[in-house]
Amino acid sequence: MVRRAVLRALVNDGGLAQGQFELTKDELADGVEMASWPGISIRPAPGCEAIVLSIGGNPSNLIAIPNQRAKRLTGEDLEPGEVALHIGVSEQVVRLKNDGTVLLKSGEQGATLTLKPDGDVVLDVPTGAKIFWGVDGATHPIALADEVDAMLATIRTQFNAHRHFSTGLFDSLAAPVTGTTGAPTPPLSGISTVASDTIFGVS
């Protein structure tokens, strides 16, 4: 009534996903209904394991429940009571954590988006990656805090190196940007370093 099997092929076109399963080395079962959870659509690849049930003990009325022992989250990747959608172990992951955090990861070398229960949103991207914002393909990049800090530091350095000195002929025109007439312009202090958790949008 209950058997282990291996998926060999899957037809996913109709209302029910139907697969061909290898029950034993010499026994194949065709047209086996593949069960899935409500609201979740899956298409297991050939080689996926499954538990095959005989409905009412009838070997011609089978239903399969996919089961993947080799690829699952283990250890600290999934704590007791948590749920995750994933492909493989360290690839795409959508994880619902016990503390209310929602974690989305686009791949082993991709970006990670963390939605915290206090409302904070944390986006962690690899070095050199770009973030785009807008419609029609989102062609407007977003400058992150580190980039803005670097640009402001350059502007601040250039401004502080600039001096206006009085010639004595046109004191009113030769006055420094700030400070008293005849004195060099004091260093710029109005531009402060941007906090690392700040994001700025640029067109």
With 60 as the cut, is the pLDDT of residue 77 above it?
Answer: yes
Residue numbers of the domain that contains 90 = 75-124
Residue 114: predicted pLDDT: 95
Angstrom CA distances, 89 to 65, 70, 97, 145, stand at 21, 9, 17, 31
Domain count, the chain: 3
Report the phi/psi class of residue 145: left, alpha or beta, with left for phi > 0 and alpha for psi in -120 to 50: alpha
DSSP 3-state assignment of 124? strand
Predicted pLDDT of residue 171 = 53
- pLDDT on residue 132: 76
How far apart are the C-alpha atoms of 6 and 66, rounded to whole Å? 9
Range name among 38-52, 128-142, 174-188 with the lowest pLDDT average: 174-188
Mean pLDDT for 192-198 is 49
At 97, is the pLDDT very low, low, confident or very high (cuts 50, 70, 90)?
Answer: very high
For 152, the token pair is 């402001």
Confidence bin at 199 (pLDDT 50/70/90)? very low
Same-domain check for residues 155 and 189:
yes
Residue 130 domain flag? no
**190 lies in the same domain as 163:** yes
Query: For residue 84, is pLDDT > 70?
Result: yes
| Residue 35 maps to a domain | yes
Q: Is 131 a domain residue?
A: no
* Contact (Cβ atoms closer than 8 angstroms) between residue 84 and residue 96: yes
Report yes or no on 84 lying in a domain.
yes
DSSP β-bridge partners for residue 85? 94
Of 46, 67, 88, which residue constitutes the final position of a domain? 67
pLDDT at 93 over 60: yes
Segment 80-88 shows an average pLDDT of: 87
**Cα→Cα distances 115→22, 87, 103, 132, Å:** 42, 20, 6, 19
